[in-house]
Amino acid sequence: MKFLTTALLTAALLGGCASTTSKHPATVADGVLVGPNGMTLYTFDRDTAGSGKSACNGQCAANWPPLVPTATAQPLADYTIITRDDGSRQWAMKGKPLYYWVKDAKPGDKTGDNVMNAWRVARP
């Protein structure tokens, strides 16, 4: 009985620790990065890695919505946060801002890959 009580207490404590750790803003599915909603993420060739800027603003950003961090999100591993021209924040992976494509209708769609020969699916 003492072993069972100790095991349950340990599991509860470890479970509590796991729930307080930060999650990455994207995960890998079918070899590409996807956002929390399961939709494919993209990078833009005109963005300069590590510049802290996005070259996709205005109508471009309407078609390619940025992956937006929560107000309390902090950089984590290869993920950084840039400040866009409008003052909003955006996740970047290895210095490249991450975007969704409005024409992807469901998780697994990758219709934005190679659009205008400038957009690429984001890969880990």
d(CA 63, CA 101): 6
Q: What is the DSSP letter of 11?
A: H
Cα separation, 124 vs 121, whole angstroms = 10
Our CA dihedral for 41, 61, 67, 103, rounded to 10 degrees, sits at: -40
Say what the pLDDT of residue 106 is: 98
pTM: predicted TM-score of the whole model, two decimal places: 0.82
- Nearest CA to 32 out of 118, 109, 116 is that of 109
The DSSP element (H or E) to which 65 belongs, if any, is none
pLDDT value, residue 13? 35
Q: Which H or E element spans position 81?
A: strand 79-83
Model pLDDT, residue 10: 36
- In this predicted structure, what is the pLDDT of residue 116? 97
User: In whole angstroms, what is the distance from residue 70 CA to residue 62 CA?
Assistant: 19
pLDDT tens, residue order, the chain (124 aa): 443 333 333 333 333 333 334 488 999 999 999 999 999 999 999 999 999 999 999 999 999 999 999 999 999 999 999 999 999 999 999 999 999 999 999 999 999 999 999 999 999 9
